[in-house]
Structure formats: structure tokens, C-alpha cells
Amino acid sequence: MRKGLFYGLLFTSPAILGFLIFTLGPMIASLALSLTDYNVFKAHASFVGFDNYARLFSGEDDLFYKSLGITFYFVLLRVPAVIIISFVVALLLNMNVKGRAVFRTIIYLPSIVPAVASAMIWMWLLNPDLGLINSALRWLHLPTSNWLYSENSVIPSVVLTTLWGIGGTVIIFLAGLSGIPKQYYEAIEVDGGGWYSKLRHITLPMVTPTIFFNTIMAIIGSFQVFNEAYILTQGGPNNRSLFYVFYLWRTAFRDTEMGYASALAWVLFLIILFFTFIVFRTSKSWVYYEGGERA
Amino acid sequence: MRQSKLALTWGYIALFAISALFIIPFVWLVRSSLMDLSQIFTMPPQWIPKPFHWDNFHRALTVLPFGTFFANTFIIVVGVLVGTVATSSIAAFGFSRIRWKGRDAVFGILMSSMMLPAAVTLIPSFLGWKTIGFYDTYYPLVVPSFFGGGIFNIFLLRQFYLTIPKDFDEAAFVDGATYFQIYARIIMPLSRSVLIVVSLFSFLGTWNDFMGPLIYLKSDRLFTLALGLQMFQGTYNAQWDLLMAASAAVVLPCVVVFLVGQRYFLEGITLTGLKG
């Protein structure tokens, strides 16, 4: 197989070019832009050094810290919720139940619903006066909530709406669970262990690579939440759901401050990188790889 | 694995409860889309529309040009599908069936871009497309798919290509076949099912995309269904009957595509979870 390098580069050239044009190039450009005061209405951008970053961190822009805090709160609520609920649902689906395929379809189906449509459905379900959820709560004589319309409940409400779409995470957990050899459980049964020892000593250690993968994906996705902010709340009420990427979008495309928004983008990139790195680093102590090999 | 009767019973109860929670929003969507406002506002809420207002769909889909939105979405989806299937399979071939120096390093670099937040490339990409005069056209939404179709799809296809025995290519080589012939006559026909997975994911990704059209499209006549639905909500925000009918009409094609291709979807997601 001669000329491997030539043909290899030829076949992969669309992807390599795509990476250079649509990823690496824009990445460098956005770093450069973040050092300018580029505004669409100005004729040209002027170099301002680290002024944009100084403005971000000095506290002059209080919406930056606000949106950062809101987004952290969202990530902190959503990531554990997604992981724990998906794992429990996957455990249930992994039981020897009849009609597994039907349950699986029902649980996966919401994750293919377009974000806009899903937002419409949830706005209607969570409508404080006429929505199904408050009606059900009133019927049960439980306290109701203003959900998306109240400052304190808006973030948990957005988390709730995104939990409808955990189907993909559940399926990945299910794949991880089905890869656990049956003999391991049989060994525990021989020793007289119950479901708790099975979960604690076999299932949990064996699915740690899947937990690891899903956690990274959930962190990356949660930091970048945009559609929900745009469609459900427009950042309201009173900026209490001013998610970071929504604030970035507003700065770039409504206030047309492209330079400053690029600095916002780079800060987000570094934050995500930092958290991904932390999870990777800690993974050595909690992710189990078969054969003793650790990543 | 043995399971006690009791555990299984609780398992069923929990699964029924969870399934109900996941399915109720769909039921609520459909029942609201078939009611008039006076029925919707009845307290306590009714589950069955009486009578069924099928005309909601007609009204919802004609107050805004949803036919145009549908056609626009369709054009973009077809463009993205063609670009993705053609170029991701070619690239995946180069990353798995051809041996060359630096291959895995290059692939690793491309894979790392999956972790990159879209926000970082958003602004320069927008400015770039605007500068060359393609703001408010479909080019920014379609053209990138012709450059590899997304690293995720290349990854999926590569995972699959790596499972095909090397002997196939070598035998063809002995017979004087070129890489192109091996790609077109051996690998492509074998990868029908995984190409379906890639197509399904791209279909849904494009159909559901909101941020892309929001940023690149300005004229109403170019809007996609997702943008159209959002615009509808801005105009008719208290008309829950029409809003739900329009939403149901946007959801329906996705549900149909999913139910038809379900088997492939589940395979595809499972492939994702494999260690690369």
C-alpha cells in the first residue's frame, strides 16, 4: 500500500480543511477579536489589549458575574440530576422486565423533540394559571408555584424542562450496564449478597467509565444552554435566568459588541476546559477500567 | 441474574410511573391542539377534546406561511444530509482504512474540537459569512456539512469501519483496485446501517437547530420551522390551542422519523458510548 500519506490526506482533506476553516481559524480569530473593541457599527476595530477582560473581571459589568453565577447554579443542579435520574432509569430498564423496548422508546422519544417545540410544551405545562402541573398540584392540595415566572423558581424550572430529554444519557448508561458480565452477579449471589451488594460492589464500579463519559458531556452541554433561555424566559424575570451563552448572544447580536462578546466566549471556553480537566484528573481515583488499566 | 418477585414488581411500578411522566407532555400537547380556547380554560382540566377541533391545525398552519417554513427546512436538511453522508464517509475511510503517518494524531486533534463550545467560533464565523455576502442565505447552514459533516459523524463511521476485516481491502488491492474503488465498492455497501444512523442524527440535528437559523437568517421568507414556531409564539402567545397545534405539526415529522428508524438510533447511541 504505497502512497499511503498522499491518499490518506486526500481522503481526509474535507475534514481537515473543515477543521481549519470552521474551527481553528474562527478560534484564533475570536481570540484576536477579544483584544479589540470591534463593533459592527464602527468602521474598523481597534486594538485594546486586555481591556475587555479587565472590564469583565473588574465588576464593572455586573451582568457578567450574574450570568456566570446563574450558569454555575444551573450546572450544579442539572448535572447531578441528569446523571442520577438517568442511571436509576437505566437500572430499571436493565431489569428483566417485559416490554422493555416499549419503555425504552417512551423514555427516549422526548429527546428528539425540537427545542422550540419542547419549550412551547413546557411553557404551557408550567403556566401558573392554566397549566397542567399547577392544576394537578391544586387538585392534590399541594402548594403551587409560578415556575418560570418567579425569580427563585426559574432556574430549577428550566432544569426540570431539560430533564424531559435525558433519553440519550439513559441509553448510553443502558449500554454500559449490559456490558457487565453476568458471572460477577452470580458470584455475589453465591456469597449470599443481596441487591445492595450487587449495586455497591459490581454495578457501580463497572459503570464508572460510563458515568465519567456522561458527566463530561452533561457539563459541556449545561454550560452552553441557550435555546431554553432564549425561548422560555428571554433571560427573565429580572435577569434571573440570564444564562451565560444567552448573555453572550445578546452582547454580540443585539448590542453588536463583537469584541467584548468574543472575550466572553473565551472565558467560557477556559471555564469548560478547566472543569473537564478537573473531572479527567479526579477520574484516576474513581473510574475503574477492566484489567487494572487506568486512563 | 435472578430477581425476586418483589423487586420486579417495584420495577414495573417505577417504570410505569416514569413512562407516564415522560408521555404526559405529549398527551397534553395533542389534547390542547384539538381543543378550542373555552375547553382549554375549563377547570378542572379535561383530557378528551369535545368536540375535536381539527381545524386548529388548518388555522395554525395558515396564519403564518408554515408551508414555506417547511419547504425551507426541507431544503436545508437535504443539503446537510448530502454533504454529511458524502464527506464524513470519505474522511472516516481515510482515518481508518488507509495507513499513513500522523493519522491518529490528526484524528485526535479533530476529535478534541468536539469539546469546544460553539460560542467560541460563533462570532468570527458569523462575521466571515457576512463579509463574503452570505448573511441571510442558507450557505452558512449547509456548506460546513460538506467539509467532513461534523467530527461526531466521522467518529461514528470510523468506529464501524475499524470493525471490517482488513483482508477485504488487501484482496482488492491484489486485484489492482484503487482506494476509491475500495471505498465505493467494498466499504460503502457494507456500511448501509451506520450511514442510516448518521443520516438520522443529521436530519434531527438540522430539523431541530435553532441557534444557526436564528443567527444567519433575517428574512421571514427564509425562516425554518423552528424559527417560524418561535415567531408564532411571539405573535400568538395566549392562543394555546393554535400554539399547540403548530408545535404538534413541528414535532410529528421527528416522531415519525424516529419510530421508523428506531433500531438504528439505539445502535448509533450505543456506538457513541464505546471507547474510541
pLDDT at A6 over 80: yes
Long-range contacts, stretch A226-229, CB < 8 angstroms, 24+ apart: A226/B211, A227/A115, A227/A116, A227/A119, A227/B210, A227/B211, A228/A115, A228/A119, A228/A158, A228/A161, A228/A162, A229/A158
Task: Give the domain extent around B186.
Answer: 65-272
Q: Which of A2-11, A133-142, B168-177 has the highest mean pLDDT?
A: A133-142
B263 within domain boundaries = yes
In a domain, B59, yes or no: no
Pick the closest to residue B270 from A47, A226, A200, A213 (CA basis).
Answer: A213
For B16-54, write each residue's pLDDT tens digit.
Answer: 999 999 999 999 999 999 988 888 877 777 888 888 888
User: Given CB atoms, is B29 within the 8 Å cutoff of chain A?
Assistant: yes
User: The whole model's pTM is what?
Assistant: 0.91
Within-domain flag for B58: no
Mean pLDDT of chain A: 90
Residue at B14 is within a domain: yes
Residue B42 lies in a domain: yes
Q: What is the DSSP string of B117-137?
A: -HHHHHHHHHHHHHHTT-TTS
pLDDT digits 0-9 by tens, A103-150: 999 999 999 999 999 999 999 999 998 889 998 999 899 998 999 999
Q: Please check whether residues B263 and B209 belong to one and the same domain.
A: yes
Cβ–Cβ of A106/B230 closer than 8 Å? no
**Of the given ranges (A102-111, B40-49, B54-63, B203-212), which has the lowest mean pLDDT?**
B40-49
Residues within 8 A of A (CB atoms), B 38-77 only: 40-41, 43-45
pLDDT digits (tens, 9 = 90+) for A30-42: 999 999 988 877 7
A206 touches chain B (CB under 8 A): no
Question: Is residue B86 domain-shared with residue B151, that is, in the same domain?
Answer: yes
Residue in A225, A191, A185, A228 with CA at minimum distance from that of residue A205: A185
Residue A242: C-alpha distances to residues A235, B122, B231 (Å): 4, 19, 21
Cell of B103: 493519522
Sorting pLDDT into bands at 50, 70 and 90, what band is A294?
very low
Q: Is the ipTM of this complex over 0.85?
A: yes
Residue A36: phi and psi, rounded to 5, are -125, 170
Give the range among A162-166, A245-249, B78-82, B176-180 with minimum mean pLDDT: B176-180
**What share of chain A has pLDDT > 90, as a percent?**
62
Please give the radius of gyration of chain B, using alpha carbons only, rounded to the nearest integer.
24
What secondary structure, in 3-state letters, does chain A show?
CCCHHHHHHHHHHHHHHHHHHHHHHHHHHHHHHCCECCECCCCCCCECCCHHHHHHHCCCCHHHHHHHHHHHHHHHHHHHHHHHHHHHHHHHHCCCCCCHHHHHHHHHHHHHCCHHHHHHHHHHHCCCCCCHHHHHHHHCCCCCCCHHHCCCCHHHHHHHHHHCCCHHHHHHHHHHHHCCCHHHHHHHHHCCCCHHHHHHHHHHHHHHHHHHHHHHHHHHHHHCCCHHHHHHHCCCCCCCCCCHHHHHHHHHHHCCEHHHHHHHHHHHHHHHHHHHHHHHHHHHHHCCCHHHCCC
CA triple B19-B237-B70, angle to 5 deg: 75
User: Which candidate in A1, A2, A11, A133 is best for mutational testing of the B interface (most B CBs within 10 A)?
Assistant: A11
State how far residue B176 is from chain A, nearest Cα, in angstroms.
Answer: 11
| CA gap B170, B168 in Å, rounded | 6
Say if residues B209 and B20 touch (Cβ distance below 8 Å).
no
Please state, for a pLDDT cut of 70, what percent of chain A lies above it.
Answer: 97
Give me chain B's average pLDDT, please: 89
User: In the prediction, which pLDDT does A290 show?
Assistant: 63
Q: Is the same domain home to B161 and B258? A: yes
Cell of B128: 466571515
Q: Which stretches does DSSP call E strand in chain B?
A: none
Total domain count, chain B: 2
**pLDDT digits 0-9 by tens, A179-233:** 888 888 888 888 888 888 888 888 999 999 899 989 999 999 999 999 989 999 9
Residue B257 lies in a domain: yes
Q: What are phi and psi of A257, to 5 degrees?
A: -95, 80
Higher pLDDT pick, B41 / B156:
B156
The answer on B120 and B13 residing in a single domain is: no
B154, B31: one domain: no
B115 contacts A14? CB cut-off 8 A = no
DSSP 8-class letter at B50: S
Query: To the nearest whole angstrom, how far is the Cα of A245 from the nearest Cα of chain B?
Result: 7
Residue to mutate among B16, B41, B114, B147, with most A CBs inside 10 A, is B147
| CATH number of the structural domain spanning residue B140 | 1.10.3720.10
Cell of A222: 449545561
pLDDT for res A43: 64
Determine how many CB atoms are found less than 10 A away from the CB of residue B16: 12
| Domains within chain A, CATH numbers bracketed | 59-285 (1.10.3720.10)
Interface of B with A in 86-115 (CB under 8 A): 87-88, 90-91, 93-95, 98-101, 103, 106, 109-110, 113, 115
pLDDT at site A295 = 38
Give the three cell numbers for residue A179.
Answer: 456490558
Neighbours of B82 (CB within 10 A): 16
Query: Are B71 and B36 found together in one domain?
Result: no
Q: What's the half-sphere exposure (Cβ side, CA atoms, 13 Å) at A246? A: 24
**Domain check: are B193 and B121 in the same one?**
yes
pLDDT of residue B190 exceeding 60: yes
Please give the share of chain B, as a percent, with pLDDT higher than 70: 96
Mean pLDDT of A53-66: 91
Whether B70 and B121 map to the same domain: the answer is yes
From B110's Cα to the closest Cα of chain A, the distance in A is 7
> Cell 442520577 belongs to which residue?
A84
> What is the C-alpha separation between A130 and A236, in angstroms, rounded?
20
Say yes or no: B95 and B188 in one domain: yes
Please answer whether residues A211 and A283 qualify as being in contact, where contact means their C-beta atoms are separated by less than 8 angstroms.
no
Contact (CB, 8 A) for A175 and A152: no
pLDDT tens column, B227-272:
999 988 888 877 888 899 999 999 999 999 888 888 787 777 666 6
Which residues of A fall within a CB distance of 8 Å from B101? 4-5
B positions 233-272 inside 8 Å of A (CB): 233, 240, 243-244, 247-248, 250-251, 254-255, 257-259, 262, 265-266, 269-270, 272
DSSP state of B183: I
Can you tell me the mean pLDDT for B97-106? 92
Is A1's pLDDT higher than 70?
no
What pLDDT score does B276 carry? 37
Residue in the structure block whose three cell numbers are 448535572: A79
Q: What's the DSSP call for residue B143?
A: G
**Residue B274, pLDDT score:** 52
Task: Assess whether B131 and B268 both reside in one domain.
Answer: yes
Rounded average pLDDT over B214-236: 91
Determine phi and psi for B49, rounding to 5 degrees: -65, 140
d(CA A77, CA B45): 31
When pLDDT is cut at 50, 70 and 90, the band that residue A275 belongs to is: very high
Asked whether residue A73 carries a pLDDT value surpassing 90, the answer given is yes
**Amino acid B275: pLDDT:** 42
Main-chain phi, psi angles of A102, to 5 degrees: -70, -50
In this structure, what C-alpha cell is assigned to residue B247? Answer: 408545535
- Same domain? B133 vs B215: yes
Find cell 470591534 and name the residue: A38
Please check whether residues B157 and B261 belong to one and the same domain. yes
